[in-house]
Chains A and B, each alone.
Chain A
Amino acid sequence: MSNKQLNQVFSIVKTFLAILIAMVVAFVVILIVSEEPLEALHAFLLGPFTSVRRIGNLIENTIPLIYVGLGVCVLWATGKRTLSGEGCYYFGGLMAALASLKIVFLHGKSLTLVSILIVIAVCGLMALLPMLVNLKYGTDAFVVSLLFNYVMFYIGNYIFSNYLMDITSTSSGSYPLPTDSFLPTLIPGTKVTANLIIALLMIALMWFFMYKTKWGYSIRLVGLNPNCAKYVGINVFAVCMLAQFIGGAISGVGGGMEMFGRNPRFSWFSLTNMGWDGIMVATLAKYKPQYILFSALFLGYVRTGADIMNRSSDVASEIVMIIQAVMILFIGASSFLAHTQQKLRVKYSDKVRQEV
């Protein structure tokens, strides 16, 4: 086995082992806290597949995770890590609601399209700011984007409570979103809309962008070695900004799409945490767009299962947090299994010696 193959095998083994360990930890916790652990486990593991509606839930939960996961793949690809996905997801939802409620001269699918274009433009531009001040003034991109998310939230909250809030309604939220702008439903009895197809197309598109275009190539080269990128003549500033625009826009679209069929009203009173989930999804997918579907599906499944367990047993859905934490810990731990890997490396090198 060559070293490259060995690294690949270990990369896969480590990911699955991390998932396995996390699940085992979750099971142990369930066994300890639950009066009827078997029912809880059953609801958690198999619950998502027991009805069409629940399968629908699983897919509904997965779709936004695809967007935010892709968002982080691009946002982080230049090696400068920002948390802009969080703010952009929230702001995307808000802008979609604002556009579809306030643009009165458009109706139906043209309203949907225009709203999403607005989301792309606004969220893309918003995501530029933390990177701009980083590149121009040397601030920390991570910290500034984290703080800027709150700025985005408070601006959004101001817009929400002054222009969109429906105070006449009993259910708190915005005015009802126009149903004619909603995307067509794919699975009857669920809220799975054509958004699923768009999300899947987005995965293909992002893979193509990152690996088959010169812009994606430049972004990756900056991520792998910014000095080298600069030296071969790549405009590092422009490339970093481009990555932020695209990553922010995708995250924003993820939030915006939630307003076209899933939610009857805009009702986000706080940041959604989806940006952080995006980091989780992207990490699990090794920051490669082509793996995002699997990692988003997995997290969507765990979320849905925990939700069902929450409703049908005595275990709270916060168990998901434990699973996530343990997984991130093991996937992020670069030395996890490193010793075994090094031993195998030494073993396989015996063959190489004869070739030397």
Chain B
Amino acid sequence: MNNNASLPVIEMKGITKIYSNGVIANKDVDFSVKSGEIHAVMGENGAGKSTLMKMLFGMEKPDKGTIFYRGKPVMIHQPSDAIALKIGMVHQEFMLVPSLTVAENMMLREEPVKGGIFIDRAKAVEETVKISEKYHLPIDPNARIIDLPVGMKQRVEILKALYRGAEILILDEPTAVLTPQETEELFRQLQILREIGHTVIFISHKIREVKQICDRITILKNGLSMGVYNVAEITEADISRLMVGREVKMKLDKKKANPGDVVLKVDNLCYGYGEGKLKVNDVSFTVRSGEIVGIAGVEGNGQRELLELITGLRGIQRGKVSASGLDIRGMSIQKIRDKAKMAYIPQDRLLFGVASEATIKENLMANRISNREYSRAGVIKGGKFTKRSRELIEEFRIKCGGEEQTVNMLSGGNIQKVVVARELSMPRNLIVIDQPSRGIDVGATKFIHEKIFELRDANAAILVNSADLAEIMELSDSLFVMYEGEIVAYFKSLEGVTEEQLGEYMLGINRQTPEQIKEAYYEQ
């Protein structure tokens, strides 16, 4: 083993990949990993990290370039080819069957059989225990996936890859969904794997984590490789510069909040009857004008449902939501937008935010076609449309080749700016934002944060949800934590509050008293 430790176990040479919408995901990228190292692939979102790894795992086909496995050129057409080469991948979205147990998921497609027909469940459990002990990754083989926290699901994915013989493990942004505590635990696991001689490829854009655990890094920017570096020999500032191209000052000037009247009032909201556990369980809070209220929590604890209830995308089952003094129950989405003056920036911009095959102009104008300024007797005023679109592109600094370009040609950050431009350019009392910076670059994130502060100072009431703890702590004036559909903690001010403290509430380890939680609701 020592013999080939310095030899690259995987080498990718001159890899080019262009998607059918013309986006150049990778261009002449060279990449290599040595056996027994933790190698980070870094870059902003859209830099081509995931695509490069998907090609290594056989999920995408490179347009140019060759992949070498221990010096020999190999063709990886599909994931099973990669698995045969002892490569395993843990995706950002877990590929597990929620209703099955851990052991059943582990054995999917390789189920041990009894008498040629029946699945040998006892054997499956036994195998699972064996593999989990071998790698010191304890797991309950009989637990159902649906009942497991995110960190455990991820562990099942890692074990699944190991069970299939993986010695090279690709982890796609593994810490994105984890709390600080879970991240620590993951790092401990990865170090164990490295000690046994396994190779880990760690995709991330979090510099701090990479510095903490990785041996070497490959930095990608705009689909090009910016070089390979030993982690010990490169500073955080240098990494940041290579990733972004310039040093970004993240600290924003934030004035003190000056809250006014209550704009959004949520009373005893419940949602999810008939789905087992309630997704939103007796939630009450208020948002006042001129303040930013943040929601912290591990994803999947009811935040998304809560925001969709407030914005009218889901029907209210129980409880009450009033915005700008209007009870929104039964109101059409259009009315909520126009009468209650509510803007909503959704979490999934490609699913909800934009029609990606339509032009930038069409997307920017989608919420104002009925506005008398833009159409008369149903006929659209084309000139006004174009003029306003150009103004918005300018104002929100959307990088594009003109308003007639289709949205699918833009980068994630610029697509997000299209959504933000459309939503925030109408007069609004209340702005609901779900994951303002998910999957977008540092520059665009900063721009959007500044916009949020600007609107707050102009007296808008703002409700923000983000899975990124650092982001939510920076944005929020006050903040509540959601766990399993409930508010478990409320902080009137974030002064002196640490990430670890919030993490304990997010994991359900800790919980405030009902009196403390009640403070989230301001009586008028």
Interface residue SS majority, chain B: mixed
Q: Which of A3, A227, A228, A341 is the one whose CB lies under 8 Å from B21?
A: A3
B326 at the interface (CB under 8 A from A): no
Are A234 and B334 within 8 A (Cβ)? Answer: yes
Which A residues are in CB contact (< 8 Å) with B183? none
Partner of A3, one of B357, B366, B409: B409
Contacts of A233 in B (CB 8 A): 332-334, 336-338, 367
Asked if A187 lies at the interface with its beta carbon under 8 angstroms from chain B, I say no
Within 8 A of A (CB), among B362-421: 362, 366-367, 369-370, 375, 378-380, 382, 401, 405-406, 409
Least distance between B394 CB and chain A CB atoms (Å):
22
Chain B residues near A217: list those with CB within 8 A. 362, 369, 380
CB distance from B417 to the nearest CB of A (A): 16
Residues of chain A lying within 8 A (CB to CB) of residue B16: 346, 349
Confirm or deny: B78 has a beta carbon within 8 angstroms of a beta carbon on chain A.
Answer: no
In the bound complex, do residue A228 and residue B354 qualify as a contact, i.e. CB atoms below 8 Å apart?
yes
Q: How far is the CA of A215 from the CA of B353 in the complex (A)?
A: 20
**Number of A residues with CB within 8 Å of any CB on chain B:** 34
Query: Which stretch, B34-42, B259-267, B344-352, touches the partner chain A?
Result: B344-352
Is A214 a contact partner of B369 (Cβ separation < 8 A)? yes
A-chain residues with CB within 8 Å of residue B119 when the two chains form the complex: none
Question: B405 contacts which chain A residues (CB < 8 A)?
Answer: 4
| Residues B24 and A349 in contact, CB atoms below 8 Å apart | yes
**Does B358 count as interface, using CB distance less than 8 angstroms?**
yes
B171 to chain A, nearest CB (A): 27
Q: For chain B, which range describes its interface: under 10, 10 to 19, 20 to 34, or 35 or more residues?
A: 35 or more
* Across-interface contacts of B223 in A (CB, < 8 A): 356
- A225 and B369 contact, CB distance less than 8 A: no
| Distance (whole angstroms) from the CB of B363 to the closest CB of chain A | 8
B28 to chain A, nearest CB (A): 8
Complex Cα spacing A345 to B17, Å = 10
CB-based nearest A residue for B401: A2
Closest residue of B by beta carbon distance from A213: B378
Considering the chains assembled together, what is the distance between the CA atoms of A47 and B145 in angstroms?
Answer: 70
Residue in chain B with minimal CB distance to A233 = B334
Does B63 sit at the interface, judged by CB under 8 A? yes
Given contacts A342-B63, A345-B18, contact A4 B406 (CB under 8 A): yes
Q: Which of B18, B24, B336, B378 contacts A342 (CB 8 A)?
A: B18
- B123: CB under 8 A from chain A? no
- In whole angstroms, what is the CA distance A349 to B20 when docked? 12
Q: Which one of A215, A220, A230, A232 has the greatest number of beta carbons of chain B within 10 Å?
A: A232
Question: A353 touching B380 by the CB < 8 A rule?
Answer: no
A4 touches B366 (CB 8 A): no
Task: Say whether B121 faces chain A, with CB atoms less than 8 Å apart.
Answer: no
Tell me whether B382 and A212 are in contact (CB under 8 A): yes
Inside 8 A of A342's CB, which chain B residues have their CB? 18, 20, 63
Query: A212-B379, A342-B18 are known contacts. Are A231 and B27 too (CB-CB below 8 A)?
Result: no
CB contacts (< 8 Å) of A231 on chain B: these are 313, 333, 344, 346, 352-353
Query: Which residues, 305 to 336 on B, are CB-close (under 8 Å) to A?
Result: 313, 332-334, 336
A329 in contact (CB, < 8 A): no
A1-19 CB mask vs B (1 if < 8 Å, else 0) is: 0111011000000000000
B472 at the interface (CB under 8 A from A): no
- Cross-chain contact A220 with B358 (CB below 8 angstroms): yes
- Whether B351 and A227, one on each chain, are in contact in the complex, defined by CB atoms closer than 8 angstroms, is yes
User: Can you list, as one digit per residue, whether each of A178-222 has a CB less than 8 Å from chain B (1) or not (0)?
Assistant: 000000000000000000000000000000000011110110110
CB contacts (< 8 Å) of B496 on chain A: these are: none
A120 to B354, CA, bound (A): 34
**Chain B, 1-39, contact with A by CB distance < 8 Å: what is the 0/1 string?**
000000000000000101011101001100000000000
Looking across the interface, which residue of chain A has its beta carbon closest to that of B379?
A213
Residue pair A225, B356 in contact (C-beta under 8 Å)? yes
Which residues 101-126 in A have Cβ within 8 Å of B in the complex?
none
- Produce 1/0 per residue, B205-241, CB < 8 A to A: 0000000000000000011100000000000000000
Q: Is the CB of A349 within 8 A of B27?
A: yes
The residues of A that contact B222 with a CB separation of less than 8 Å are 356
- Give chain B residues whose Cβ lies under 8 Å from the Cβ of A32: none
* A229 interface hit (Cβ, 8 Å): yes
A229–B354 Cα gap in the complex (Å)? 9
Q: How far is the CB of B334 from chain A (nearest CB, A)?
A: 3
**Is residue B277 within 8 Å, beta carbon to beta carbon, of the partner chain?**
no
Q: Does B355 contact A (CB under 8 A)?
A: yes
Known contacts A215-B378, A227-B351; is-contact A235 B22 (Cβ 8 Å): no
Contacts A/B (CB < 8 Å), 10 sampled: A7-B22, A212-B382, A213-B375, A213-B380, A220-B358, A231-B346, A233-B338, A342-B63, A349-B24, A352-B24
- Besides A7-B22, A213-B378, A214-B369, 18 new A-B residue pairs in contact (Cβ under 8 A), listed by A number: A3-B21, A4-B405, A212-B382, A214-B378, A217-B362, A217-B369, A224-B357, A228-B351, A228-B353, A228-B354, A228-B366, A229-B366, A232-B333, A233-B367, A343-B63, A346-B16, A349-B24, A356-B24
